[in-house]
Each structure stands twice: as structure tokens, then as C-alpha cells.
Structure 1
Amino acid sequence: MSPHHTPKSALPPLLGRGPKGVFRRTLPHEQPTGARMVRTLGLTQLTMIGIGAIIGAGIFSLAAAVARDVAGPAVLISFLVAGAASLCAAFAYAEFAGMVPKAGSSYTYCAAVLGEIVGWIVGWDLLLEYTAIVAVVAIGMSGYLGFLLEAVGIHLPAWALGAPGTGSGHRIDLLAVAICLGVAWLLTRGTRTSARVETVLTIVKIAIVLLVIVVGFTKVDSGNLQPFAPFGLGGAFTGAATVFFAVFGYDALSTAAEESLEARRKLPKAMMLSLAVSMVLYVLVCVVLTGMQHYSEINPKSGISSAFQSVGLNGLANVIAVGAVIGIVTVTFSFMMGASRLWYALSRDGLMPAWFGAIHPKRKVPHRATWLIGGVSAVLAGVLPINAVAELTNIGVLLAFVVVSASVLLLRYKKPHLKRGFRCPGMPVVPVLGIIFSVWLMSFLQWETWVRLGCWLVVGLVIYAAYGYRHTRQVMPGGSVDLDTLDELSESDEAEPTPVP
């Protein structure tokens, strides 16, 4: 064979990387000025969005439910295991965010490295997971809102107190529905306005969590921590799989890349800062929660407030309930923002109709996607119990973590020279650990959760075959991009905007 002869690929065109191949690598085109989002988010706001996404239902609701039903005081181990797995994946996300400052998070990353079909599967998967997470945290918030309303003598009718099957006479979680729709309204006001509200609420939330820790430690009874693992270590690990969604807010944060100032440099920093602060607070609150009240007596809906009430601190219990409401609003904000930006990216690239990703001409946000996600999450929050929705979110996010960790590992060795605003340490050990941790945690989830994920992915493949495959080739014609073009992304993506007087 001549040294200049290149053998033809044995793969058919549909399975290749050419213009017709489903594995062609894609990067989003530059959008016209009127169709772009506006870069307004600095490091502080990005970090607050990350903390806002991480600290919320995990501390205020899910920790209590897991401690009572699955792990006991070993819920502390649940959060540590979930945090360790999340950190490995966070390093991978941070490296990608430092290379591809574009909306879409793991969808965009995977499409650039592993091909269009892999990117679509991950994006379609996360669209459901983000929306379901909004529903989970809204359900958690409704428990604390109910606690506050009862404290002032307001009692909602039984039919409005929860999803069917969660209590006598329950038909719909009316407060959770209202929360989802209210956050959608806030997000459609514009990125600058909503991010300012998010920053203020996150600061208030952190202050209340610190109050819980400082006062709570004075009321800890070491006897309540015995037995430490009443359900065994298996219970703690099952708890880790359940609470995992509470420690990966940086994923939603990475979808805001096109609204970030100096995204390559600041997004990775914000991811690391938000995860570090949140994990310290999670661990301390777990000790307080299970130390103040025996795990078997913890209220799964308003755990921390009920724990303070059990030791005679009724006034603080009400303050904490207010903090829980504020805290969970910020989580709902971050993930609904992430879901709408992901939908925008999928529509921009032709995988879904452009109508969904339209940018509001004045407020520069994907308003249609935001309202649709608000509506769907309101339905989920109104009619499904929290545990079922939490497991559904976790399996999809863990799947995305596996793919992103594998992608960053592959890209580091195939294209080591690419410009990176952050480099994942400990290669190749850290990404491999991220993959192993994620698969391991997935193994603890119920088989019904796997079936639901499988059904959703089948629906996604049908949509891709019927619509996305053809339309993405009209929006982004041509074959695979050269990954070296990552270095050629417009410098305007990094530039500070001209100050507005």
C-alpha cells in the first residue's frame, strides 16, 4: 500500500464523523447580536448561583428524609460520599468550562468531543433531570411554607397539602406549583435582575445556615448519634445516591457560560468555590440535625425547623423555616435557569425547533423555554412524591457525569495543547474515579428509575431521528469541526462589556 494512501473507513456514512454521520463533532455558531444573551455575571454572582443551586433541599428537606428512612446519623457519610463523587466530576466540568465558554453545559462538551448523537442523548437526558430537580426542591420548599403558615394560624385544605398518596385527602401540592411558576416569572425578568435577587437570597440563606450550625451545636446530644449507622453502611451508600443531586449545582452553573464575564477563567473558579463552601456547610448541618433529635423522630418535610422546635427553640424554628424557603427558591432559580439555557442551546443547534429557544428582544433571556419548564416542573411538583422525583433526577445526572469525565479524559490525551482556563488535576486518576463513583451510585437506584430513564432516552432518539438529525444539518451544515478551533472562539466571549453609565 502506498504510504500516501488512506484506507476508507469501514463504517457507513451514517455512523461516521462526516456531514451525514451521527458522530460528527459540532460546536455552536456565533449568533447574531439580537439573538444573543448578554454577559453580565462576574465571579461573585457565578459563585452565588452555584451555592444557590447546591445548598437548598439537600440541607433543609432531603437530609431529614434520608436520615429518618435510609441512613440515620450516617447521613453524614451519605453526603461525604456524594461530595467526593461530585468533586471528581466537578474537576472535569471545570476543565471543559475553561475550554468551551458556551451555553449547553455537558451537551455542548460531549457534542464537541464524542459527537452529535452523544451530545443529544446527554442534553435530552439533562433537560428532564433539571426540570425534575426544580420539582424536587419546590416540593421540599412547600413543607417549610406549610410549617410557617401553620405557625401563624393558616391551615390549607387537605387536598392542597401534597401529591396523591402522600397523606390523607392529598390531591396536589399547591404551594410547590406556585413556587415553580413564581420562579419562572422571576427568570423572565432578565439575567441581571434575577441574578441580583439570587445573590441577595443566597447571602441570607448562608447566614441562616450558619445560625443553624452555631446555635444547633449547643443543643447536640451525643446520645442521639447512637447507633450511628442503624441501616448499615449500605443504607448510607443508598442515601448518597439519593442526595447526590444536592451536591452538583455547578452543572447548572456551567449552562450560564454565555452570560458570564471572562467565562474561561471565572466559571471554573466559581464551580470550585461553590462546591467547597457548600460541602463544609452540609457536613456541619448533618451533625446538628441528627445530634439535636433522634433520627427516628425527625420530620422529613421540615427537619431542621422541627429539630429546633423539639428542643424548645420555637422562635428560631420559624426563622429557619423562612431561611429554608429562601434557600430553596435559590436552588429552583439555578436549575430552572440551567434547564432553559440548555433548551436554548439545543434549539440554537437545530436539534429542537428554534421557537423554543427564542430570546426575548428586550430582556435577552429564553423566555418561552423558561415558561415551559416552569409549567412542566409545576405539574411534576404538584402530583409526584419527592423521593420518586429525586431518584429520577439523580440517574440522569450521574449518566452525564460518566460521559463528561470520559470526554475530558479523552480530550486531554488527544488534544493536550488546547487552551484551558482550568486543568483537571490528577490525570487520569480523577476522571476515572468520577466514572467509577457515578456508576457505583447509579447501582443503588431502584430498577423503576432505570426503566423511566430508558423510556425517556428512547423518546429522545425518536425525536432525533424524526427531527433533530435533519434540522441540525441545516443549521450547522458540514462535517466534524476540528477541535483546534476551540482556541479560536471569539475573544468577545472573554471581554468585559463597556460599563453602562
Structure 2
Amino acid sequence: MSLGSRIFQRENLDRYLETDKKFIKTMSALDLISLGIGAVIGTGIFILPGTVAATKAGPGIILSFIFAAVVCSTSAMCYAEFASALPVAGSAYSYGNLVFGEIIGWVLGWALILEYVLAVAAVSSAWGAYFQSFLKGFHINFPTAISGPFNPSAGTYGNVIAIIIVLLISWMLSHGMRSSVRVNNIIVFVKIGIILLFIVVGLFYVKPSNWHPFLPYGWSSSKGGVFGGAAAVFFAYLGFDAVSSSAAEVKNPKKNMPIGIIGTLIVATILYVGVSIVLTGMVSYTKLNVADPVAFALQFVNLNWVAGIISVGALAGMFTMMVTMIYSSSRLIYSIGRDGLLPQFLGKLNKHGNPGNSLLIVTIIIAIMGGFIPLDQLTNLVNIGTLIAFLFVSFGIIPLRHNKEIQNNHGYQVPGYPVFPIVSALLCLYMLTKLPTETWVASGIWFVIGLILYFSYGIRHSKINKDREV
């Protein structure tokens, strides 16, 4: 068999279903929406509506969030069809293996590893810093030496709080999804409650005059306008794709996976738009280019008690994001190990039906990165990993519909086929062109490392290649 034939061999859906049936199916549509909201709604909801309104869109930020949601919904619907048709662990990695071939699946898996690990490491570091600020409100000061990444010149040698929160979440996940989902749901409801508190209380302080002019920068201008604002807030919606990692642990995935993915986007849009309406109505958009615009607006109208509660919402937002991403990354690593492209011990499930080995490895890597490595300059790599996955999932709807092994899919299907998936893919390409050059260079290095690993290890240990040789 030629090299080209080997690397483009497609996986068998029945083998995936047989392997993944060892997972315990406990999750409902509500659990999936909670996981999705946990990933999508973080501290950004308390920051982006203000800063982007001030610098790009004015009160038109309301329309920016709606437009960004419409753009994002195209990819969400493509994910929903894949998750409904292919209820297996691994998200875009497994989809790529099934419809494009092993090499494409590997590239997508490698991109998602970058997305998940960097995202959680960066947020764990931010959670540590935010929690320290929260403690200072009670006059509790954390020792400088263990309060930040390894930087002896600044007197910091590790962010202990960041490490502890990662270990705590991983310990929780290791005890099974039933209890983990219950805890996650409670914290997500608290977070949504705090956001709704801001919206309801803030409505009483809205001055319609603050919405005039509504489009100070127009629809598109050198400042940005509504469309420029949409491009800036598009990344606020990323994270719903992590829901698809849970397909093997979902009750009735054909029905519940589309509800979970699309429901996540709908709820997130309502919350983002609600915060944008109230925030720009409480304070003139010209004053919102600050680090914490929601807290600033509340202090502006003398609601300091609500501002204190918002800080709890920010901590809750980051916590649930880490829960979803650590969970998703462990399922991703499990899937790659299941296929032999990474050491096979990573593809084993423990007696609780959890990929314990992959969760352990993911935890160690994230704890080290979040606790010791400054990540400020690497977070854009999260966006490129996500968009590459979106791109292939969108185009992948076409070969999915023509795959004879998956013709029995009677679940959700993207409307307007094939136009809608193509439009989704083109929008992803457009967003990729908006990323800075240094992001492309850094990601290029990452993908070169990934290809070296695949051709030196993965292709020789691949289960699909071994099965073909038998």
C-alpha cells in the first residue's frame, strides 16, 4: 500500500461505536447545554460588551453580537449534524478520521489539543490572579512567591492557586460524569443567575439617551463599526464545539446532541445581547474602555454591592469553562490513544467508565503550563485551532452525506444543504485571515511538530493500518 493510501485510510464507524460503548451514558440535553454554557460564557461577558462598544461599535455592539451569533450558528449546525450522525468520543478528530482519512483526523486532533490545553492553562492562570484579587477584598494577601508564573525577576515562582484549581477539577471529573455534571450544573445556574441579576437590576438605571447615536461608527468603518465589532466578539462564542466530545456519554445522542449544541448558542446569544443592551444603556459607550466595564457601570450608578457579586460570577464563569475543557481534552486524548496514534494506554477506560490515564496526562500538562508558564502571547493559538476544526467540520458535511456507512442517519441535518455548509466553511476561512501573522507562525511550528510525531510514531502504531495488514 502506498504512503498516500495509508495516511488517507478512513476509520470504521462500527469499531468506534464498539470501543466507545464502554462509556456510561448519563448525560441529558440540559446537561449538554450546561456544559456548553460553561465553556462559552466566561469572564468575557463582563468585559467584551463594554470594551468593543467603546472602541469599535458603540451601542451597535448589540447588533455585533447578533451578527456574530448568526455566523457562528452555521458551524454549530454542522457540528450538530456530525454529533447526531456519529455519536462517538473525540469530536472533530473522530469526524475527520471517519469522513476524510487518518491524516486529516490527526491534524484536527492536534489542533484541538492546542485549543483545549492552552485555553484551560490560560484561564487557570487568570482564575488564580482573579481569586487573589477577590481575597484582597477580605484583606487576605497571598505570598508573592507563589502567586504568578515562573519569573524570578518579578519574585514569582509559580501560581499555586492555578495548579490547585486544575487538580481540583480533574479530581472531580475522575469520580465520574454523573457527580461532575451535577456540580457543573449548579455553578452554571449560579453564573447565569448573577448575569440575570445584572440585567434586571441594571434595567432600572438605563437611560435611552445613552443609545444615541446607536451606530456612531456605522456598519463598517475604519474604527470597525457593527461588522468590525462582530469580528472582535466572534471568539466569545467559541467553546460550543467542546460539547460534541461528550457524544459517547449522552442518552439518545441523535436527539440530545443537536439540542445541546444549538441550545448553547441560543442561550449564550441571549445573555450576551442582554448584557450589551443594559451596559450601553447604563453608561455612555465612550466611558466603557476599561478593564472591568460591568463593574465600572455598577459603581457609576452606586451599585457597589452588585459589583461585588459580579466578581463571584467571573470566578464561576472561569471555573465552568475549565471543567468543560478539561473534560473535552481528556476525551480527545483518549480517542487518539484508542486509535493508536498516541500510546495506547491513553485509550483505556477505568472501572468507572472514565479515561483515567488521559485525564491524568492532561491534568499534569495543564497544571504545569498554567502554574509556571506565562501564556499571554499564546492565547490567539486557541482561536486558530478552533477555526481549523470548524473549517473541516463544515466542509465535512458534504462527504458525510455521501458516506454509505452512515446512510442510516435519521437525526438532525443541516438545512440548505450544500449551500449552508459551504457558506460556513467560507466564513471560517475569512475569520482565519483576520488572525495575526505571529499566530500563523507559532501554529505552523506546532503543526510541524505534530506531523513529525505522526510520521515517526502514529502511522506505525495506527490501529487502522494494523487492521488492514491482518
TM-score (ref. length: structure 1): 0.82
**Counterpart Cα distance in 2 of 1:386 and 1:438:** 25
**Counterpart Cα distance in 2 of 1:235 and 1:180:** 39
For the pair 1:464 / 2:450, whether they are aligned, the reply is no
| Cα distance, 1:124–1:149 mapped onto 2, change above 3 Å | same
* 2:387 and 2:432 in contact (8 A); partners too: yes
Q: How many residues align?
A: 462
**Counterpart Cα distance in 1 of 2:277 and 2:268:** 15
Identity in percent: 37
**TM-aligned CA deviation for residue 330 of structure 1:** 1.1
* 1:53 and 1:250 in contact (8 A); partners too: yes
For the pair 1:388 / 2:377, whether they are aligned, the reply is yes
| Cα distance, 1:475–1:294 mapped onto 2, change above 3 Å | farther
| Cα distance, 1:154–1:222 mapped onto 2, change above 3 Å | farther
**Counterpart Cα distance in 2 of 1:67 and 1:146:** 29
- Which residue number in structure 2 is paired with residue 348 of structure 1? 338
**Counterpart Cα distance in 2 of 1:63 and 1:295:** 10
- Which residue number in structure 2 is paired with residue 406 of structure 1? 395
* 1:144 and 1:302 in contact (8 A); partners too: no
1:408-429 residue CA offsets vs partner (Å, 9 max, x unmatched): 0233256594413101011122
**TM-aligned CA deviation for residue 215 of structure 1:** 1.1
The residue correspondences of 1:306-317 to structure 2 (distance < 5 A) are: 306-317=296-307
**Counterpart Cα distance in 1 of 2:394 and 2:20:** 34
**TM-aligned CA deviation for residue 36 of structure 1:** 2.4
**TM-aligned CA deviation for residue 147 of structure 1:** 4.0
Which range moved further: 390-399 or 288-297?
288-297
| Cα distance, 1:428–1:31 mapped onto 2, change above 3 Å | closer
Which range moved further: 280-289 or 92-101?
280-289
| Cα distance, 1:409–1:353 mapped onto 2, change above 3 Å | same
For the pair 1:24 / 2:9, whether they are aligned, the reply is yes
* 2:20 and 2:248 in contact (8 A); partners too: no
**TM-aligned CA deviation for residue 364 of structure 1:** 2.2
For the pair 1:257 / 2:242, whether they are aligned, the reply is no
1:465-496 residue CA offsets vs partner (Å, 9 max, x unmatched): 011111114675128xxxxxxxxxxxxxxxxx
**Counterpart Cα distance in 1 of 2:419 and 2:33:** 27
**Counterpart Cα distance in 2 of 1:235 and 1:302:** 22
**TM-aligned CA deviation for residue 393 of structure 1:** 0.6
For the pair 1:364 / 2:356, whether they are aligned, the reply is no
- Which residue number in structure 2 is paired with residue 179 of structure 1? 165
For the pair 1:105 / 2:94, whether they are aligned, the reply is no
Of 442, 459, 466, the residue aligned with 2:432 is: 442
**TM-aligned CA deviation for residue 129 of structure 1:** 0.3
Of 95, 107, 121, the residue aligned with 2:81 is: 95
**TM-aligned CA deviation for residue 293 of structure 1:** 4.2
Q: Secondary structure at the match of 1:370?
A: helix
The residue correspondences of 1:220-299 to structure 2 (distance < 5 A) are: 220-221=206-207, 232=222, 234=224, 240-241=230-231, 243-293=233-283, 298=288
The ranges of structure 1 where at least 4 consecutive aligned residues each deviate by more than 6 angstroms after the TM superposition are: 31-35, 167-171
Which structure: greater helix fraction? 2
Which range moved further: 230-239 or 469-478?
230-239
RMSD of aligned Cα (Å)? 3.2
Partner amino acid for 2:398? L
Q: Secondary structure at the match of 1:103?
A: coil
**Counterpart Cα distance in 2 of 1:170 and 1:293:** 38
**TM-aligned CA deviation for residue 78 of structure 1:** 4.5
Which range moved further: 174-183 or 332-341?
174-183
Q: Secondary structure at the match of 2:462?
A: helix
- Which residue number in structure 1 is paired with residue 26 of structure 2? 40
For the pair 1:131 / 2:117, whether they are aligned, the reply is yes
Partner amino acid for 2:361? L
- Which residue number in structure 2 is paired with residue 378 of structure 1? 367
Gaps of 5+ in 2: none
* 1:131 and 1:339 in contact (8 A); partners too: yes
Of 313, 322, 332, the residue aligned with 1:323 is: 313
- Which residue number in structure 1 is paired with residue 106 of structure 2? 120
The residue correspondences of 1:421-432 to structure 2 (distance < 5 A) are: 421-432=411-422
Q: Secondary structure at the match of 1:186?
A: helix
Partner amino acid for 1:307? A
**TM-aligned CA deviation for residue 458 of structure 1:** 0.7
| Cα distance, 1:423–1:233 mapped onto 2, change above 3 Å | farther
Partner amino acid for 1:218? F
Q: Secondary structure at the match of 2:377?
A: helix
* 2:211 and 2:281 in contact (8 A); partners too: yes
Q: Secondary structure at the match of 1:318?
A: helix
| Cα distance, 1:376–1:225 mapped onto 2, change above 3 Å | farther
Partner amino acid for 2:276? C
**Counterpart Cα distance in 2 of 1:235 and 1:449:** 24
* 1:85 and 1:433 in contact (8 A); partners too: no
* 1:55 and 1:331 in contact (8 A); partners too: yes
Of 172, 190, 205, the residue aligned with 2:191 is: 205
Partner amino acid for 1:197? V
**Counterpart Cα distance in 2 of 1:159 and 1:14:** 52
**TM-aligned CA deviation for residue 267 of structure 1:** 0.9
* 1:347 and 1:355 in contact (8 A); partners too: yes
The residue correspondences of 1:48-87 to structure 2 (distance < 5 A) are: 48-61=34-47, 63=49, 66=52, 73=59, 75-87=61-73
Q: Secondary structure at the match of 2:379?
A: helix
* 1:176 and 1:381 in contact (8 A); partners too: yes
**TM-aligned CA deviation for residue 389 of structure 1:** 3.8
**Counterpart Cα distance in 2 of 1:309 and 1:232:** 32
Partner amino acid for 2:422? V
Of 328, 333, 355, the residue aligned with 1:338 is: 328
* 2:49 and 2:272 in contact (8 A); partners too: no
**TM-aligned CA deviation for residue 225 of structure 1:** 5.4
**Counterpart Cα distance in 2 of 1:37 and 1:268:** 20
1:353-380 residue CA offsets vs partner (Å, 9 max, x unmatched): 012233232x321223223323333344
